[in-house]
Every structure is written in structure tokens, then in C-alpha cells.
Structure 1
Amino acid sequence: MDTNDDVWVVVPVFNEAPMVREVMEGLRTHFPNVVAVDDGSTDASAAEIEAAGAHLVRHPFNMGAGAALQTGVNFALLDPRAAYFVTFDADGQHRVEDAVAMVERLRSTPVDVLIGSRFLGSATNMRRSRRGLLRVGRLFERLSSGIALTDAHNGLRAFRRSFAEVLKLSVADMGWASEFLTRLAESGLRYAEHPVTVQYTAYSLSKGQPSINSVNIGMDVVVNRLLRGRR
């Protein structure tokens, strides 16, 4: 096993029993510290996480991916040795080797946050409609946060503790990816994209968000920013 004792991988989980154990076991071959946040699953996800030997934190009911990620980051921050953090999806579409490469890049270059990009890397079996939505999302993020990326909604991200301590996600649902970029812009920390491979399978595609949810998520982000500005 690689050392990586100062790295924590955070995985939000909601009804991923068929896949989550395999994902956890793959991560733990390189990262001893993996925390999965079971976001009110109604299947056997929690049992599968425990069987894989990962840390398990449970929400009493479904709160959304953003809330699960923040819970996981908060849990990892309790470890004073935690220097690097990785967010990783539970549906098997990310590769562990990409997460390893991102952490190695953080260790060796003056970058604070790395965001995975399937458009700099590759995306197998991605639907044309999905590609189009991601392009729209890229434009939305550039206009709303000022951060220009090739892939603004990739769940694979790695960052230093300096960013973990100021992240503080308040958007509970899938709009977390947008809020993440807003926090990044506010922080003034250094960021870059990293080429990764996203592997779309029948299982991961079945877990995807309906297209209309992209509109709902965008509205959630806009409303949250307006409310935040009034505080």
C-alpha cells in the first residue's frame, strides 16, 4: 500500500450497494483513510462500506450530495495529520489511479486545488446530451464564479487542507460543484485542471440526474448566492 497517511478520500453515498464496496476496496489499496458518508440510504450501502473497511458516517435521512461531502470533509479535518483531500464518486465512474496522480501533483507543484477534467482526459460511453449539458454548465460557471474550466462538474477533485478549512458548503444538493468553485474564487488559492478518465457504465448512467435537474440545480445555486450576499 502507498503511504498517503496524510490523505483523506471523501465519498458521498446514496443507495450505491451494488457498487460501493468495490469502489471502497479500490481506494483503500492506495489510501488508508477513506470516509464514506451514507446519505440516508435505504439499501445495504452502509453494510457494504463497513465490509470494505472504510470509515462510515451516516446521515439519518437524505440531505444531498453537497451535505454529504461537507460532512466527510469535516470528519477528515478532525485528523491533524490530514494535509490532502480527495472527493470521489461512489458509482464507479472514477479511476483510483487518477486520484493518486492528482495527489502526487499536489505534493510536487505549487497548486492548492486540482479539478478533474474528462475533456482534457477521456470520457467513455458519454451520451451526447450529457456532453451538451456539461458545456452549458461550463459557461454558467464562468459567468457566475469567474473560474474558467473545461469541466466544471467533475466529482473528482483534490485539494490541500488550506482549502478544506474554508470550503464550508451550504448547498446541500448536486449544486455543490458550483458552490465549490465560488468558495475557490473567494479563497484566492491556486488551482488547475487535471486530465482524468470518466468511465460511464450502464450502472452509472442509470444513476444520472434527469436533464431538468440541471435547471433546478442552477436555480438553487443562484438563490443561494443571493441569500449569501445579504448575510
Structure 2
Amino acid sequence: MVCVNACSRDGSADQVAATGAYLINHPINMGQGAALQTGIEFARRIPGVDYFVTYDADGQHRLEDVATMLDTIAETGDDIILGSRFLGTEAVGMTRTKRIVLRLATSFSNVLSGLKLTDTHNGLRVFNRKVAREMQITMPDMAHASEILEIIATRKYRYREVPVTIIYTDYSRGKGQSIVNAINIAFDALLRKVSR
């Protein structure tokens, strides 16, 4: 396991270090996209790693879903498996506003990327070594989620969504993105698309 600490002050880095997992500390908070790229680059250097998992640190994801996604990628030979909170599972504790915003964001992202997904901003992903080698996340902040979709579409990776359960708690809601920030991310994605 590789954990990237983006200047967190909640003691989580000490907890990770105590487990023996790999811990990388960014000296400044460069955002989730930069943390993911750092973690992927580091994990690529570990011998014998065939599959890579991105997993948010806010407690929303479940290990059971990771196991299912790993089984799926091994069985199907797809390049990337994406978790979806809208495929027959319920997002526990999701507010109505959050559901509406995520549905709108998904529609917007599908138009920009040309993909057909039900959940475009889920941090739970599993991908193979080819994707890990080729994917270069350049958006340091939360816009990386849209950038990853662009990479999937541009490189024509074989992808599949699988149902996952997302658990919203007071802690995870406190770590989430505001509606204003979501609009800014969408605007950045649109600008990036039209400038290419």
C-alpha cells in the first residue's frame, strides 16, 4: 500500500507509518491529482505490482468493493474498472443536493469525454500496469477526475463500471467538495477541452 500525505495534520500520516505501508509526504498540499500521480509513479517501481487502486482517504470506500473490482479486472482483461455509486447500490447518507450535483456532473463529463458512465467522480478505480505507465495526471486539484476520463477516452482504454457502496459520514462530508468548487472544476474541464 502506498499512501500520499498532502500535508494532513490529523495524525493519519503517523497511523499509516505505524502499519508499515509506504508513506510519501508532499511538502506542500498540491491537491488530490498530484497526490495520485505521485502514488502511481511510486507504486510502478514496486516489483510484481500488476494492478493499481486509487482509494480516497475520507472513509467513503469499502475494501469489499476493491476486492470485487480486482476480481473484475482480472477476469475481463479490461484496462480500468471504475466504481459507481449509481449502479444498483445505494450511497449511504448522500444528501439529495449531492445526488443532483453528481448526476449533473456526470452528464456534463460524459458530454465532454464522450464516455457513457453513471458516476464520473468516484475516487475508487482499479487499473492495470499499462494504464499506470501511460497515465499522466497534470491537474493537481480535484479536476483530475475529469482529466482521467479524458485520458480513458483519448487512449481508448477498455473500461467498465461496477457497483460500489459509498458511505457518507459527517467526516467524509466535511472533506467533500462544495457546489461552488464543483462548478469551478466543471468550468476548468470545459476550458481545457475547448483549448485543445
Q: Do Structure 1 and Structure 2 share a fold, with TM-score over 0.5?
A: yes
CA contact (8 A) 1:171 1:221 kept: no
Q: In the alignment, which of 37, 46, 58 is matched to residue 13 of structure 2? A: 46
- Return the structure number with greater relative CO, CA threshold 8 A, min gap 6: 2
CA contact (8 A) 2:84 2:163 kept: yes
Residue in structure 1 matched with residue 186 of structure 2 by the alignment: 218
CA contact (8 A) 2:93 2:168 kept: yes
Between the aligned partners of 2:15 and 2:125, the Cα distance in structure 1 is 24
Tell me the SS of whatever aligns to 2:90: strand
TM-score, normalized by length of structure 2?
A: 0.95
Q: Which runs of 5+ in 2 are unaligned?
A: none
Q: In the alignment, which of 106, 126, 133 is matched to residue 158 of structure 1? A: 126
Residue in structure 1 matched with residue 52 of structure 2 by the alignment: 85
Residue in structure 1 matched with residue 70 of structure 2 by the alignment: 103
Cα distance, 1:83 vs structure 2: 1.0
Between the aligned partners of 1:174 and 1:226, the Cα distance in structure 2 is 19
TM-score, normalized by length of structure 1?
A: 0.81
Residue in structure 1 matched with residue 149 of structure 2 by the alignment: 181
> What CA RMSD, in Å, does the superposition of the two structures yield over aligned residues?
1.2
Q: Percent identity?
A: 46
Cα deviation 1:141-190 (Å, max 9, x = unaligned): 11111011111110101111111111100011011110000000111121
Q: In the alignment, which of 165, 168, 191 is matched to residue 136 of structure 2? A: 168
Between the aligned partners of 1:159 and 1:200, the Cα distance in structure 2 is 25
Q: Which runs of 5+ in 1 are unaligned?
A: 1-33
Between the aligned partners of 2:190 and 2:65, the Cα distance in structure 1 is 31
Cα distance, 1:226 vs structure 2: 4.7
Between the aligned partners of 2:188 and 2:79, the Cα distance in structure 1 is 27
2:186 is equivalent to residue 201 of structure 1: no
Cα distance, 1:81 vs structure 2: 1.6
CA contact (8 A) 1:116 1:196 kept: yes
Cα distance, 1:206 vs structure 2: 1.7
CA contact (8 A) 1:66 1:171 kept: yes
Tell me the SS of whatever aligns to 1:94: coil
CA contact (8 A) 2:112 2:193 kept: no
Cα distance, 1:211 vs structure 2: 0.8
CA contact (8 A) 1:112 1:163 kept: yes
Which structure carries more strand by proportion?
1
Between the aligned partners of 2:178 and 2:161, the Cα distance in structure 1 is 26
Between the aligned partners of 1:220 and 1:71, the Cα distance in structure 2 is 22
Which deviates more, 104-113 or 179-188? 104-113
